[in-house]
Chain A
Amino acid sequence: MIRFVETRKVFPGSESPALDGISAAVKPGRITGLVGPDGAGKTTALRLVAGLLTPTSGRIEVFGYDATRQTREVRAILGYMPQKFGLYEDLTVMENLNLYAKLRNLPRAQRRAQFDKLLEFTDLGRFQKRLARRLSGGMKQKLGLACALVTTPKLLLLDEPGVGVDPLSRRELWKMVRELTTSETVVLWSTSYLDEAELCDETLLFNNGKLLFAGAPSELSKRMKGRVFRVRGYDPARKRSEFARLSQEREVVDVLIQGDALRVSFRSTLSSAEVMRRYFPGLAVEEASPCFEDGFVDALVAKASEAKSPSALPVAQAPPESGSGGAALRAFDSSEVVVEARKMTKRFGSFTAASEIEFSIRRGEIFGLLGPNGAGKSTSFKMLCGLLKPTSGDGFVAGVSLRKSSGEARKRLGYMAQKFSLYGNLSVRQNLDFYGGVYGLSPRERRDGIDRALVEYDLTRYADERAELLPLGYKQRLALASATLHSPEALFLDEPTSGVDPVARREFWRRVVAFAAQGVAILVTTHFMDEAEYCDQIALILDGRKIAQGAPDAIKASAKRCETDSPTLEDAFIQLIERERSRTR
């Protein structure tokens, strides 16, 4: 059992505390999720429990020991899996297990049985002699967990074990933890995936070092009962403008696109009849079962409006009604193809990273590229950006061949790379100016474009601040502003929202949707299934090949096992992969 008592941690040189006076209790026999976006304080909390950091004030009790002063006792009962899994990459699977067994003094007599059990659970038995470096992300994660569980610890700390791992491997991990821990084990599991939080028995919800909520995830969802609704029956063309209108509605806490439907949550409890009458006359409205994320966004919005802090309520800030350019909606021909992949194949030596990938994106369309890690989606994405030359086949952006004139094609597109690729030591204005120059804008166009972007993206007060000092959400805005300064016809987003909190993610998607409404063709890769719902079309890539394509609702329907089944997009995703794998095996 763990107790946080007024625990506060301020890192030297940092103004805001990483943990701001947390008090909470964690019970054994259940999985407790430390939930929150990057920088919320999850890792700091875990490290404090492990005695790897000392609190600035307050204390932490771990099974009656003081985590800071009785570190030795705490570590004797601890299993800890840090981010990046803590494996020695140049040792084999077995050598890693052996090392941690010895470091944790597992008696020799018990080793064989314990290793056999762990290898069976992790399905790593076949790879005992393989170097950890040569394991896939999912296998590394399992081995990391096995190393942490080698002594069946009373306290198991897992720091974002699901990061960068596809949903299939994540599910297997949950199963392992459930089965390998006992009713006395305290499990702390940190995650920034809110859907993962829902699987926890208990959650501690963090944001900016503060504890927003403690309790069962269903409790948080319960608060939203009677406040969340699904609205169907939109004419597809109107869905986006309706989405933009609703996000500015005062009574609306949150609005999401889910395939053909909108999901709206309100500040107060309403009946569906009332919702229909007041907001959606003539449409089908049904009450939706609220999820953890609804509760999280509600808690954040409530907190922000009560604190009135400067970062308050990005949700309520007016999203750009018409995106960059500020111009009114342009009329565009929505049948015109802007981006096209024609049998694009990329081989690295004998390895085929992408095989005959084909799809096209029309004006105003959002196209999602999904797939597990290493499936080939980044390769396909990079070929379309003109960053990798296809081995065979070709890609086109606005009719320009990437094979023949990738430079020309690249000018027609805006590219937002993973981790934003900003120049940290340049100011916001200088970054914008640089990208304007790269995309070949004249000095005058650049100046006008920058002035407009600063206002639209609410970056004016940060204009002369170094980019690396911006909060993550603002970095993301700046990256999007930089990629769209030259009003491209196509916008390519590579995992644009990883690590950003849900509120900033929502705001980001509002902007993306606004770009689509202007006729920009958008290609996006993401790990978040709820983001895939914003897409008009999604393509699922596995082992270098496209195994499925369609509208999110169609994909979901294709994974239906029976009439009453209503799979989520993630279920569908996992099922399609499993189906494909069993077919090829």
Chain B
Amino acid sequence: MRGFGNKLERLLAIIEKEWLQVFRDPSALLVAFALPLIMLFIFGYGLSLDADHVKVGVALEDRSPTARALWIAFDATPYLSPIFYADRGSAERALTDGEVRAILVASSDFSQQFESGIAPTVQLITDGSETNLSLIIEAYAQGVYARFLSNQGYERGISTSNLASRINVETQMRYNVSRLTRNSITPGSIVLILAMIGSLLTTLVVAREWERGTMEATLSTSVGKFEMIVGKLTPYFLLGLAAACICALVSRYVFGVPFRGSIFAYVLTSSIFLISATSQGLLISTVCRSQTLSSQIALLSSFLPNYIFSGVLFEIDAMPAPIRALTYAFPARYYTVCLQTIFMAGDVWPLLLRMASYIGLIALVFITAMIVKTPTRLE
């Protein structure tokens, strides 16, 4: 029992020391608390900023005066800069060439639908990489149509109530079938934030000790692998968890994203993900022994792949098969599913547990590697 008591004392000493160091080192606190907020706001607002003078190609397949009158109305709005094309083909070419960021196509039966009171169909084709653009343009198009409608009623001296009150916008995204909104991007950005924090915080800690010569002094005491690993993981894990909670609160109350699952499910899945991320960072740090090298390796092996393969920014289904296979090796992929489920759908336990166990499996690999690699000597 005495042996265990001693071990526990050493473990607590290491945790306490790491904890003190975190609070003495402003950069660690910056990474843990300021960085998630900055990133969350960039993801939350940056991707849905309103745009002025968006260049939109307008193709008229219906040449009737009514149709023309509508499209002329587009010229009047300050938010869009329409460029007119005679047909769909030339407008699409302009989109592929990047001359316009979206095209609106009025089909040949536009005025016929309008006159008969059916909501006229307008096709909106956007570049799939600009996920929020279609929503913005659709809203503008509706606004333009509303003004056009009242003008028409005034000109014709008739009530507009029997005309279609809206146009029917049929949106097509080219090159990316998925549609992202803030509701799904915010849980996704939490994944990226925690992946980043988890690896950034821990990659430096062991390497720093090697560089400053304190590792040698620590190794010369009775400290074993258990204290070394658990003692270093715990503080950073807790820090990551705090960041995760902040992220959830900001998402819910600042961005108004629904949070349909339970806090318990959120903390559980986040904890497992953080264990995997921090132990990966610690493993890198242990192997590299140099701060510069380990932060670069962390960037390449943890942060960037999690970023790319999480499915948050790039649709996994749209990736080539070999790369799609690669995404299974990165925990961010599963954690994304967990968070999107918890935020958007609720506690779907069978799914959550399956995903969490995959993350746990990956974490287990890192921890095993770390047990092997954690030194008790200098070589």
A65-109 CB contacts (< 8 Å) to partner B: 71-72, 75-76, 78, 80-91, 95, 98-100, 102-105
Q: Is the CB of B13 within 8 A of A103?
A: yes
A86 and B377 within 8 A (CB):
no
Question: How far is A84 from B208 in the complex, measured between Cα atoms in Å?
Answer: 14
Known pairs A53-B378, A71-B376, A105-B9; A82 contacts B216 (CB<8 A): yes
Distance between Cα atoms of A52 and B378 in the complex (Å): 5
B17–A52 CB distance below 8 A: no
Query: Nearest CB to that of B22 among chain A residues?
Result: A90
Contacts from A to B (Cβ < 8 Å)? 47, 50-54, 71-72, 75-76, 78, 80-91, 95, 98-100, 102-105, 131, 147, 157
Contact with A along B1-45 (1 / 0, CB 8 A): 000001001101110110011001100000000000000000000
- Max chain A Cβ within 10 angstroms of own Cβ: one of B12, B14, B216: B216
B222 to chain A, nearest CB (A): 5
Contact B21 A90 (CB under 8 A): yes
The verdict on B181 contacting chain A, using a C-beta distance below 8 Å, is: no
6 cross-chain pairs, A with B, having the tightest CB-CB distances, nearest first: A86-B217, A102-B13, A80-B220, A84-B213, A90-B24, A103-B221
Q: How far is the CB of B156 from chain A (nearest CB, A)?
A: 78
B23 to chain A: closest CB distance in Å? 9
Please measure, in the bound complex, the distance between the C-alpha atom of A76 and the C-alpha atom of B2, giving whole angstroms.
Answer: 14
B296 is an interface residue with CB less than 8 A from chain A: no
Give B41 Cβ to nearest chain A Cβ, in Å. 30
Give me 19 A-to-B residue pairs in the complex whose CB atoms sit less than 8 angstroms apart, sorted by A's number: A51-B377, A75-B220, A75-B221, A78-B221, A80-B217, A82-B217, A83-B213, A85-B213, A86-B213, A86-B214, A89-B212, A90-B21, A91-B17, A98-B13, A99-B16, A100-B221, A104-B221, A105-B6, A131-B24
How many A-B contacts at CB < 8 Å in the complex?
84
Contact B21–A91 (Cβ < 8 Å): yes
Q: Does B223 reach chain A (CB closer than 8 Å)?
A: yes
CB A471 to nearest CB in B, in angstroms, measures 24
Contact in complex: B216, A72 (CB < 8 Å): no
Instruction: Judge whether B378 and A103 touch: CB under 8 Å.
Output: no
In the assembled complex, which residues on chain A have CB atoms less than 8 Å from the CB atom of B220?
50, 52, 75, 78, 80, 82, 157
Contact A52 B216 (CB under 8 A): yes
Which residues of A are found within 8 Å of B119, using beta-carbon distances? none
Centre residue among A53, A80, A103, A104 by max chain B CB count within 10 A: A103
Q: What is the bound-complex CA distance between A104 and B379, given in angstroms?
A: 22
Q: How far is the CA of A84 from the CA of B212 in the complex (A)?
A: 8
With most chain A CB atoms within 10 A of its CB, the pick from B212, B217, B378 is: B217
Q: Whose C-beta in chain A lies nearest to the C-beta of B217?
A: A86
Residue of A71, A100, A104 ringed by the most chain B CB atoms within 10 A: A104
Give the residues in chain A near B16, CB-CB below 8 Å.
99
Q: A51-B377, A90-B24 given as contacts; is B218 within 8 A of A103 (CB)?
A: yes
CA distance A49 to B145 in the complex (A): 86
- List chain B residues, Cβ under 8 A from A91: 17, 20-21, 24
User: Is B246 positioned at the interface, with any CB of A under 8 Å from its CB?
Assistant: no
Which residues does chain A contribute within 8 Å of B146, judged by CB atoms? none
The interface centre, meaning the residue of B14, B222, B223, B379 with most chain A CB atoms within 10 A of its CB, is B222
